[in-house]
Structure 1
């Protein structure tokens, strides 16, 4: 049988242009996978996630030999596959037509080429999912099992390839990057827009784009194309709704051409019918599709990687990517709207039987069955929040607006419950007015519950607005007047705890929030309880009990129910874990947790939690020394907080931002912030955020008013000691050290730093060198020198070296993570190593060709630098500091 010639286009990556988005975090993942000896690194995601581009970027960065091959369906003929692999490896193309009998010769030549390749050789295979025939797959499997040690296979596919990979997973030689990891984050979304010449202005638009696309790069590219195609006359004020409609048309056409047109009729019908729900399991899929073997069709979707995701949890559930689901839904709606209504009714009935009330309401709302909506709301008001599908509830309220029964009391209570999550100030004010009107009309059967609900909405407004003392007093008054034990009272108590916490009253806040958590969980609101659990964890962190906070958030993660996947409440334990890891100085872990929280927050109303997540991300970037990202995040938080009238968050972010401005000598922002500070002081007196007082003290030091800063310091220290707020005490010791250094009081400054160091080591605070602590680095170095400690009169011994190494990581010489502040010379290291081998002083002198007195000088220098008095102690310290091999 004759065989066609080699197709050279399959042997090279697509060219990279200057518009290609750089993705260093993913390139680093690929490099790490290769460096730790993985045999296969797999990019597994649906089409349009930038897999081929990432492979090309990685190939361009390689300093070692590599070969590229893009597979197609013809490669299921083994001879075609081997011929192209042979050519990809740079071997001469056979001059004659090949026959099936030539397979063995080609395969032998390929193996010989790989065996004689460099120690590190990368074979890049694109579109690996197209390789399905057993005989062709066997050749790739042989490379995976028996290829030379230096061979690294890097492949991209849609779904899992039909290869035997279990042995690689067992041996930890397999790395898989899936759609979650390939999805763009917010910063990459911004960079992509900039690379395409789209200056979008408000940061909120970047977050909106990422949320709507779920980080799918092709969807973002279509939107940016539509954005650039706006007529020049409208460049100054583009109609973003028109841009979105045009982008949707492009995406629809893309799916039609690249995906849907290739599907069997049966599978396409299944996709359309199941697109009416946000998630489904095989049973619900069978009801909607009318297919008794729905599991078989789901497996086909997974095998083709048709934008389907299996959600974690005990109950097997699936979801489509939001963009594809919307395209499928619109196709069905345009072709058969009557069938669509029928499917919504079927889905609603099944979901109601499964006690998934929020999803059932969403389906009845889509079916325009408002009587069913109101009936469910009547019976399951607070149950609606349990699933955490906040968007479905927001849609409900939008759909019933203006319908018969829209002034329904239970709906008003439901809206009040949603507002506790979405933090929508305008809606809260309107809800209060509606409840008061219903109360005047005598509709409610339980007036005390109405009063509690109105009160918790008012305390929420007070908290969001930063009027903390008013919120605390209002909650106390209503709790005293209406002591009934119910969910509304628990939420009211939680709101009081939030106000107390930000006023610095940790003890009272802890009492309130512990009671609220216990009651909410006893009422069955375990999902909503994640929010007060976060506050409890923050109190534990402030008091220096990070192990308890860590266990709290890990426990929340473990007990998160299957239905909670991608729900709103899930983001709170990711956020909590991020705060713990920042305090413990595990900054990369913190970044990953906060990134997960951000991804979840983007999927819900931005007023709900996104601002808080961005604030803590800014704190993290500031701790990492990335001032640009920190500044950008805080500016975005303040813009967003002003938009949603969340002035408490606005002020908190401003307090952190002005501390950064002081370090950067940003006088314009300092003056702007001072105007805001004086306004707040006139309106709230002493009842300001603890963080605002601390920031004001740093500003006053910067302005040359140390007496004012010192008075604030004394007031805050009294409060911190009374409330066991050790985190605040740590900050105050750093401020005190800076003030004393300014006055030239070196011993006193060192004494303050010693207090901070002992506190940090004793309670696991790993952030001494974050924020302002970074500017005290030289003072910390002095603190660890024995001579400086003696001169400062510091008799208390330093903490153990291993704890110092953790607390002051990066303080040592040449970026090392140990506190050896005066580095050893090369000759001293040589003496140390010879001492470790047991040589005495005379043997040291003979081996180094120096005098005995010179050896003694080196040993004395070693003892001084290691802060020890004998050889054994010196060797122990050297091993702790990893100075010896």
Structure 2
């Protein structure tokens, strides 16, 4: 008879809904962690991130035994814990009421049952954070430390569980997947929308991603509200209604599941600190009118109340956007006067800390527009250091001065000019130029040279974004010569010229300008904005083949990144930079993670600011990974947004890469449409097109049967690449040259081109020879590795080291196997020799069994050793088994 103490609901996994979101990326992470020997895989995130669902999905895929156990408060009694653990493992229920003396017997039975699981066993523990009593925790700690070798524990917890885990971390047997990894990305939101019949355009999906910060529970409520309203089309007013209803659902959910269970003291503290986007203990004490903020912060962290700790110059904290809004509304409804006082208090403190945009945001929420204007008056160019552009742009438009809108005020017009350097908003840039010129004519100015420089850098920004690169270079040169005053406006003007030079492939001149501008930005204290020119300098280093220098640059930016939310936008650029480094080095999964972080940040700001750039590089990544469908979708979306924002330079860049993929996909319709755009650009800009555009045009001309045109472009680009030490472009050109040589039957010449590419890639740390167009040359690369073929082609330089070849040509073996394929495959006879060696045959037995001479056997064995990169039989057999060459 089952014990009356057993709660059966604790021993079964969550029932999966029919439309559960497939999360192959996370499921693969769980699988990889288990495969590499992790004892504990911990999903640690606040309520509603899909932890239990993910574990249940993983459990249904397991082919080895497993058990499920959802903990609750009663499990802090050891007998309750051990009874349920034994029942989860399939042990019979006790036939009598349990006594404390039964504790040791139950524990022994649990251990014995686990020891019997020879093929491995997975124990799923849900709600692990509820286990707090020391005696109960001790049992799980013993399992983690001394459990049988085949035991794997997969656990979900709201925050870090109160278990001793550092020994697992030390031994690399702990894997933690946190809220950042569990947050759904844009592709998953798109899938959620499709599964629920929500026909949303890209802008609506972006707003969902930004508003939810990837919290899946909030998204599910949104789709519930969408279904209930059953809109015929995603019209803006209907979507606003859906969002309001979803917000009401989320508010009720958080109140029921989180806020109603909090002590009154902690709830009041959360409400007061929710008026700011980030806070440290000092600001929290000020807002909470107390001296023990750190104690309450620790309480919130233990409960994992959607609070994120950010390491930087000082430790700061932020609430999830959804929770912050709910707490803010609570306080606003209960005590609006206190809310206004808190905004004023926070603004004054932030101003003392030189966090100007956040101070302006707080003054604006307090509706103290005089303070907003005074702050902007004193700190016009200081605002460039901050990245909280959303609130600043909105508030500048609200301020009224002498009956005029704030944007007609001279200082605010200058401030707005600084902001558009970050937002890349062409329409606002044009309007800003007109306002500055109007104010000039009205005589409302104090520094005419700075105004001229400001207008000039706005015009060069328009030239850069619009793709009129030569005009941007010439305009910047003229204005720098005419207005040589050393100030921030001149530095921005010089930086814009560097950007135009880089896009035209003039790396040396671009480097000189951006290094000088960076030095000046450092003098002026533009620590945040400087991330943007650092990205450009890193891109120059990558083009020159110095990925290690670029890696050091972006890692340094990451380590120096302040914790304040006002810098969040600028953090985007070191994530983007690291993504570009990892793509170039061939570390594609690391690149994916970094670009995903960059996209998440970009979604929180005006889409014109950086989203198009991030989407373009994500498309390049997907193309490198061989995921053509995702690459096409990202490039098409990047081009749509770029056209919408009139950023025609980025539109053309994305189009050039999209055209290269269209050639490989035989997408004739896109090729013809792109050619029309190409000819328009050539008529307007002549030879002043980006190297990416010329390279794409060469591939298109080869595809259209015009090799002579492609070869002429190749020669022109090669001359520029050599002059500018642009090794990245040289690598692409060697691949194009190899394809052209192969087309006309010049096999040895094609192999020579590929050997040049291989040697160049090895010398400069490239890891992408089989990305993009390199895939269609895979067979030529295989031949290039064969010693007889190399001798016939007259290639005398030795091949790069095996480790480099494995990175550069990792896909030659086909597929995405976790084992490294042989770059030079074994012949049928060599495989036969290998199998006989595995059976322990001597050289003489091999010769007798194969009816060949002893010297022939030795030749086969030497070839085996060379191809496996080993020097003896034992190592050869071990390598063969790792590569699955032996049954």
The TM-score normalised by the length of structure 2 is 0.94
Deviations for 1:395-444, whole angstroms, at most 9, x for unmatched residues? 33243267767122221111111111111111111111111111111122
**In 1, Cα distance between the equivalents of 2:626 and 2:260?**
50
Secondary structure of 2:617's partner? Answer: helix
Contact 2:497 2:510 in 1 (8 A): yes
Contact 1:564 1:570 in 2 (8 A): no
Question: 1 CA distance for matches of 2:323 and 2:613?
Answer: 30
Which residue pairs with 2:885 in the alignment?
A: none
TM superposition shift of 1:884: 9.2
What's 1:28 paired with? 28
Q: Is the contact made by 1:822 and 1:865 (CA closer than 8 Å) also made in structure 2?
A: no
873-882 or 225-234: bigger deviation:
873-882
The residue that corresponds to 1:687 in the other structure is: 688
Cα offsets for 1:245-279 (capped at 9, x unmatched): 11111111111111111112111111111110001
Contact 2:847 2:857 (C-alpha < 8 Å) held by counterparts: no
8 A Cα contact 2:129 2:160, kept in partner: yes
Q: Is the 8 A contact 2:3 2:95 kept in 1?
A: no
User: What's the counterpart of residue 325 of structure 1?
Assistant: 324
Deviation, structure 1 residue 797:
3.9
Contact 2:386 2:529 in 1 (8 A): no
Residue 192 of structure 1 pairs with residue 171 of structure 2: no
Q: Which moved more, 1:71-80 or 1:692-701?
A: 71-80
1:526 aligned partner: 527
Query: In structure 2, do the counterparts of structure 1 residues 511 and 232 end up closer, same or farther at CA, with 3 Å as the change threshold?
Result: closer
- Distance verdict in 2 for CA 1:389–1:880, change over 3 Å: farther
Query: Does the 8 A contact of 2:802 with 2:869 survive in 1?
Result: no
2:679 counterpart of 1:669: no
Residue equivalent to 2:776:
775
Question: Matched residues in 2 for 1:618 and 1:851: separation?
Answer: 52
Q: What secondary structure does 1:67 align onto?
A: strand
User: Residue 521 of structure 1: CA displacement?
Assistant: 1.1
Does the residue aligned with 2:348 lie in a helix, a strand or coil? helix
Inter-partner Cα distance in structure 1 for 2:45 and 2:21: 18
**Do the aligned partners of 1:808 and 1:818 also contact (CA within 8 Å) in 2?**
no
Counterpart mapping for 1:777-816 below 5 A = 777-812=778-813
Matches within 5 A, 1:42-53: 42-53=42-53
Report if aligned partners of 1:878, 1:884 keep a CA contact under 8 Å in 2. no
C-alpha separation between the residues in 2 aligned to 1:865 and 1:38?
Answer: 35
SS of structure 1 residue aligned to 2:148 = coil
Distance between the aligned counterparts of 1:758 and 1:341, measured in 2?
65
**CA positional deviation for 1:315:** 0.9
Matches within 5 A, 1:726-875: 726-812=727-813, 817=820, 820-825=823-828, 827=830, 830=833, 844-846=843-845, 848-850=847-849, 853-861=852-860
Q: Give the gaps of 5 or more residues in structure 2.
A: 883-887
State the Cα deviation string for residues 432-465 of structure 1 (Å, max 9, x = none): 1111111111122110100100111111111111
Which shifted more, 585-594 or 788-797? 788-797
Secondary structure of 1:6's aligned partner? coil
Q: Deviation of residue 167 (structure 1)?
A: 3.0
Summarize the Cα distance change of 1:485–1:326 in structure 2 as closer, same or farther, 3 Å threshold. same
Which residue is 1:487 aligned to? 488
Residue 784 of structure 1 and its aligned partner are, at CA, apart by 2.4
Spell out the pairing of 1:646-665 with structure 2 (5 A cutoff): 646-665=647-666
Question: 2:280–2:315: 8 Å Cα contact kept in structure 1?
Answer: yes
The answer to whether 1:696 aligns with 2:697 is yes
DSSP 3-state at the match of 1:527: coil
Aligned length: 877
Q: Distance in 2 between matches of 1:808 and 1:36?
A: 25
Aligned to 1:265: 264
| Residues 111 and 689 (structure 1), Cα distance of their counterparts in 2 relative to 1, 3 Å cut | same
The 1:809–1:273 alpha-carbon spacing in structure 2 relative to 1, beyond 3 Å, is same
Flag the 1:459–1:85 CA change in 2: closer, same or farther, 3 A: same
In 2: Cα distance, 1:782 partner to 1:508 partner? 40
Distance change (3 Å), C-alpha of 1:515 and 1:209: same
Higher mean C-alpha deviation, range 325-334 or range 656-665 = 325-334
* Structure 1 match to 2:125: 125
1:577, CA displacement in angstroms?
Answer: 1.4
Distance 1:51 1:801, change over 3 A: closer
Matches within 5 A, 1:574-585: 574-585=575-586
Deviation larger for 218-227 or 586-595: 586-595
Instruction: Give, in angstroms, the shift of residue 597 of structure 1.
Output: 1.4
1:93 aligns with 2:93: yes
How far apart, CA to CA, are the structure 1 residues paired with 2:139 and 2:516? 64
Deviations 1:677-723 (A, max 9, x none): 11212222221111111111111111111121122112212222222
Distance across 2 between alignment mates of 1:351 and 1:822:
65
Cα RMSD after superposing both structures: 2.8
Given the superposition, is the C-alpha separation of residues 82 and 822 from structure 1 closer, same or farther in structure 2, using an over 3 Å criterion? closer
Give the Cα separation in 2 of the matches to 1:671 and 1:729.
Answer: 27
Cα distance between partner residues in 2 of 1:663 and 1:597: 28
The answer for unaligned runs of 5 or more in structure 1 is none
CA 1:302–1:864: 2 relative to 1, 3 Å: closer
Contact kept? 1:820, 1:866, Cα under 8 Å: no
Residue equivalent to 1:588: 589
Query: What is residue 554 of structure 2 aligned with on the other side?
Result: 553
In structure 2, what is the equivalent of residue 457 of structure 1? 458
Q: Give, in whole Å, the separation in 2 of the partners of 1:53 and 1:667.
A: 44
SS in 2 for 1:713: helix
Q: Is the 8 A contact 2:843 2:858 kept in 1?
A: no
TM-superposition CA deviations, 1:153-207 (whole Å, max 9, x none): 222121222223233333333222211111111111112222222232x223222
| In 1: Cα distance, 2:148 partner to 2:834 partner | 43
